[in-house]
A and B are shown apart, each in its own frame.
Chain A
């Protein structure tokens, strides 16, 4: 039967901190050689031991999760390795049961909820910012209302072209064109109508 295992071991790093890599790579290799699939490697890092083990007060914790067929008997081979390796202070290998998975899913769900809430708050803030920006844009549009007229004189009035005209006016300084525009406003009524429709939207 395919099972999910979790193995945690404590490495002594008082002599050589690089031992962690050698030991963990050896364990990973063992698991893979015997037909296990590594799912997750979690390094807890250096921690203070709750009580001294072999006169050491600190250890480096590594957690490896892997799936394997229970017939392969990987926990046994791991134990052999752990026992032989004198750099390993403590080890624990166990089968992850359904309840733990459920609990993890629950935690993840709660986290996701919190994140979703944060995302919602962010989205709301962004929407507000956008609304403000659009208002400002509208204000900007209403102030140089005459500006798009210059664009429409060059090309016949159409909605898409009117859009282009708006963009152009936003980019270009409207002050420079106001003189020309004011003269042509009276002639170009349809373009201003389009403008008003847009504003309503």
Chain B
């Protein structure tokens, strides 16, 4: 039962990237939710390999305070 969802292609594969650098946080932010959580594969459409690399990159960037662990949403 597909709900009319489009099949997404891994953006990193499209780009031909071999390695995801944790230094360019602007790129990583696109794969975070507003709260700062890592976007799951089913929504981002990344392939398994790149999702793993991305997760590592995000965690390294978080450790160096390049991107936040949590960003609060004012209610």
The interface of chain A, by Cβ under 8 A from chain B, is 8, 10, 49-51, 53, 59, 61, 89-90, 92, 94, 97, 99-100, 102-103, 106
Interface locus among B2-10, B38-46, B59-67: B59-67
Considering only residues 25-75 of chain B, those with a C-beta below 8 Å from chain A are 25, 60, 62-69
Closest B residue to A97 by CB, please name it.
Answer: B19
Q: In the bound complex, do residue B21 and residue A10 qualify as a contact, i.e. CB atoms below 8 Å apart? A: no
The reply to whether B19 and A99 form a contact with Cβ atoms under 8 Å apart is yes
- CB<8 Å pairs between A and B, sample of 8: A10-B65, A61-B64, A92-B60, A92-B63, A92-B64, A97-B19, A99-B18, A100-B21
A-B contact count (CB 8 A): 37
Contacting pair A51 B65 (CB below 8 A): yes
Say yes or no: is B17 at the interface (Cβ < 8 Å to chain A).
Answer: yes
A-side binding surface: helix, strand, loop or mixed? Answer: strand
Select one of A10, A102, A106 contacting B64, CB under 8 A: A10
Q: Which of B16, B17, B25, B65 contacts A59 (CB 8 A)?
A: B65
Q: Which residue of A lies closest to B70 (CB)?
A: A51
Report the bound CA distance from A102 to B25 in whole Å.
Answer: 20
Top 8 closest pairs, chain A to chain B, by CB? A103-B19, A49-B65, A99-B19, A50-B68, A100-B19, A99-B18, A50-B65, A102-B18
Q: Give chain A nearest CB distance to B51 CB in angstroms.
A: 15
Chain B residue contacts of A102, Cβ below 8 A: 18-19
Residue of B nearest to A96 (CB): B19
Cβ-defined contact, B17 with A103, below 8 A: yes
